[in-house]
Amino acid sequence: MPENDFPEQKTSESNSLPFEKDPQIALNLQHIEINGISGPLVIFFGPRNIGKTVTLLRLCTHIAHYDIRPDETFRTDDQYQDTIKTFEEVRRNLKFAPSATGNINFLLLNVTHMGSRFCQILEAPGEHFFDEENPGKDYPVYLNKIINSDYRKVYVIFFSLDMFKKDQDKFNYTSKIGRLLRERVNSKRDRVVIVCNKADLQPFMNAGKPVEREFRDALYKQDTFRLLYDTLEKGGFGHIPFVPFSAGSFIDDGEGKFAFALSDKQYPARLWQEIHNSIEGKAWWKIW
C-alpha cells in the first residue's frame, strides 16, 4: 500500500439503514433539521467514549461570557427537549460526575457574542462518525449534508493515546478521517483542530502543563496514526493546531458518588483559542 493511501470505504446493504440497532437513534435521525445551520460550524468529531460531551461542558464553563443556547429547531423529536433540559441542568451543576452525558450527546449550540452569532457547535453521537463494529459505514444523511454545505466548518477531531483496544480499530478510525479530509473537506475554507483528550492520564507534563511535542510524538509516531499525520501535512490546511486536553478528574468522595473536579483553565482556554483563531484568524498582535 502506498504510504499516503487509505483503503477505500466499503459499503453494504446495511448502510442504507444506519443505526438500526437503536430505534431511538434512528428516530432522531429522521427528525434532524439542518436549515438553521449557517456556520461557522464547529464539529466535535470522534467515536464513543472519547469525551466529546464532557469537553463541550468544560468549554462552556470557560466561555460563559458568551451567550450559549441549544438550537431549539435542530431536532423535532419529543426527546430533544429532554436533551436540552439535561444539558442546561448539568451545565449549571458540574460538582458531581456528569453521569447524564449520554442524554445530551446530540445537540446543536448557538454561540453568540454581543448580539451576533459567533459560531455553532455540533455534538453528535460517536457512532455517527465512526462505528467500531462497522467501520466502513457511511455518515448519516444529515451529516453528509452538513459536510457538503458551503459554510465554514471547523473539524475538532478527537483522539486519546489509549483509545481503542485493537490497533485495527485505530487504523480504521484514522483511515476514515483521512478519506474525509482528502476527498470532502475544503482546505481553503475549512479548518482542522486535533485534540488529544484525557491528557491528565499521561506522563507528558512539566510544571503542571502538558508538553505538546511529547503528546504529538506519542500520537503520530504510532504506526496506526502515521498515515493521518501524512494526510494533514499534505492536505493544504496550513498550520493544524494540536491541543492536549483534559476536562477534569473524577474523584471518589467515599459516599458512592464521584466528584467532578474541573481541569485547570489552561485546557479550555487553549482549545477555545484555537477554535476562535480557526474562525476569525489569529489576532495581529499575536502574530508578531
**Using one digit for the tens of pLDDT, what is the confidence trace for 30-53?**
678 899 999 999 999 999 999 999
**pLDDT the model gives residue 3:** 43
pLDDT band at 98 (very low <50, low <70, confident <90, very high): low
pLDDT band at 284 (very low <50, low <70, confident <90, very high): very low
Task: Identify the weakest region by mean pLDDT among 102-111, 261-270, 278-287.
Answer: 278-287
Kindly tell me if the per-residue pLDDT of 288 is higher than 60.
no
Kindly tell me if the per-residue pLDDT of 7 is higher than 60.
no
Phi, psi of 213 (to 5 degrees): -60, -40
Whole-angstrom Cα distance, residue 3 to residue 6? 9
**Using one digit for the tens of pLDDT, what is the confidence trace for 183-210?**
999 999 999 999 999 999 999 999 999 9
pLDDT band at 171 (very low <50, low <70, confident <90, very high): very high
**Using one digit for the tens of pLDDT, what is the confidence trace for 101-131?**
556 678 999 999 999 999 999 999 999 999 9
- Strand segments, DSSP code E, in 48-87 are 67-70
**Using one digit for the tens of pLDDT, what is the confidence trace for 227-243?**
888 888 888 888 899 99
**Using one digit for the tens of pLDDT, what is the confidence trace for 140-161?**
999 999 999 999 999 999 999 9
**pLDDT the model gives residue 281:** 80
Kindly tell me if the per-residue pLDDT of 20 is higher than 70.
no
Phi, psi of 74 (to 5 degrees): -65, -45
Kindly tell me if the per-residue pLDDT of 251 is higher than 70.
yes
What average pLDDT is seen over the chain?
Answer: 84
SS3 content of the chain, % helix, strand, coil (to 5): 40, 20, 40
Q: How many CB atoms lie within 10 A of CB 173?
A: 26
The strand pair at 116-123 and 205-206 is best described as unpaired
Phi, psi of 131 (to 5 degrees): -120, 115
Distances from the Cα of 136 to the Cαs of 63, 102, 129, in angstroms? 36, 24, 10
**pLDDT the model gives residue 30:** 66
Q: Is the dihedral of CA 165, 166, 171, 176 positive or negative?
A: negative
**pLDDT the model gives residue 285:** 38
More confident residue, 273 or 249: 273
